Structure 1
């Protein structure tokens, strides 16, 4: 069994919730799980507890609230009462309090004027912060797929989260990267408090990773490092994050990602890449 490394979180978005990936994660030193109230058809927490209730005390568990079942579908809401109920339900289904609860994609319900959006965001943040203060979870944060609307809403009046999770990696897009960094700056978060997700842009097997060689962004020597491993490692610098939630049901794949952590990024090449992304955006027609 390897020493635990906090830089990798086992994401369970599309997971089959099998016990073997949980035991393999622990063997590889991955002792953090990220799931959500709405994953697995709103049954993720019970599926996780069924697969390994005896293992869960050995994991740090983060989950998310913000999506709710309705007429066989899912709807988004920042209603404080519904958020509170979802946190309480999560505890019952998991059989324990989660270590961290993220407010899930708050941008989905932040339409309208800036003042109204800021008010809704503030009340939702306060509800999850209060749940943490009352011991329903160890801490709270915000998980945002599209953080671009958020920085302008954050000022000194909003509660400060313990963590923020955003998209990371070569396919995140320059606007998302810059918004993520601006959001972290607004809340004065350090890199360890900024989490990444979706480092492969949805799939580690898509054809793009056979055409692009991301090893150009890794310091030499990098003999034996695969394109998938390099893509994952580079994601820690786009934007600068302290940990990444990555999903897999394959112990072999998870082991490869753990092995990738021993490599470091070529910051000069990454700086050039970001500059090119900015130039491409600036050339886009208005």
Structure 2
């Protein structure tokens, strides 16, 4: 069974790409940034290069391609051009490039397979170090075979429905990625009412000092089992809170009980 290393990835979705946040990330030992070509109104790469400047070499950078100003596309030539543009805009090769939400355009293996092969080719050509697939909804992709990606990124956490959770695990088994990452552990925001009504600290072993936010974040590493979790914030205190949560231990028995409850709720 793959083990979880508790790696933290600072996501830049909805982020302002502020310098003080990036400086705090370096101070806190965060070494991974995740962005996409369409973040910050398709200006994320340029903004990151300008804002991070001398800090950028301190990070491993992952990005995503597939969304263009005029819409989503899996055209292999466009994807390669997007990766080449990312290299120019970042001023360096990305460490990892994801195919971004291919379920938007993948009607059959004739579109998804060549798109994945195009990204695999960019890695072979030295335009990036590795490639992967990032999917918000893995269910439409479960029956497709693609070249083995280095990383599969899926939604993770307590707000992921059982159907999406199981589809992500099926996809990981079918595609055999070297690593699986999670994303969006709070379902978009820690301010949602659900986090007021529910105490996720039941999923942790021991420390009563953990906050609800920390418990919700740490438990996401087991739903599904992932090696790293990408989460965004523009608040330095929130960033510190999340990085400290990685040290907590998840109670696997509680996670299994929770999964059994999800399955029981789906029974007729």
TM-score (norm 2): 0.96
Q: Deviations over 1:20-63 (max 9, x none)?
A: 11110010010100000001100000111111121111100000
- Residue of structure 1 equivalent to 2:54: 54
- Partners of 2:223 and 2:215 in 1: CA distance: 13
- Partners of 1:196 and 1:188 in 2: CA distance: 16
- Residue of structure 2 equivalent to 1:84: 80
- Residue of structure 1 equivalent to 2:8: 8
- Partners of 1:76 and 1:205 in 2: CA distance: 30
What is the CA-CA distance between 1:187 and the residue it aligns to? 2.1
- Partners of 2:252 and 2:31 in 1: CA distance: 29
What number of residue pairs does the alignment pair up? 264
Kindly report which structure 2 residues correspond to 1:188-199, keeping only aligned pairs within 5 A, or say none: 188-189=176-177, 193-199=179-185
Equivalent residue for 1:180, pick from 168, 171, 187:
168
What is the CA-CA distance between 1:209 and the residue it aligns to? 0.7
What is the CA-CA distance between 1:265 and the residue it aligns to? 1.1
**Which structure is higher in RCO with an 8 Å CA cutoff and minimum separation 6?**
2
> Please, which runs of 5 or more residues in structure 2 have no aligned partner?
none
- Residue of structure 1 equivalent to 2:242: 257
- Residue of structure 1 equivalent to 2:191: 205
Kindly report which structure 2 residues correspond to 1:137-152, keeping only aligned pairs within 5 A, or say none: 137-152=128-143
- Partners of 2:186 and 2:44 in 1: CA distance: 22
Q: Deviations over 1:174-219 (max 9, x none)?
A: 11111111111112235xx000000000001212111100011111
Q: Quick check: 1:6–1:32 contact (8 Å CA) kept in 2?
A: no
> Please, which runs of 5 or more residues in structure 1 have no aligned partner?
112-116
What is the CA-CA distance between 1:6 and the residue it aligns to? 6.8
More off after superposition, 48-57 vs 181-190: 181-190
Asked if residue 124 in structure 1 is aligned to residue 106 in structure 2, the reply is: no
- Partners of 1:78 and 1:278 in 2: CA distance: 34
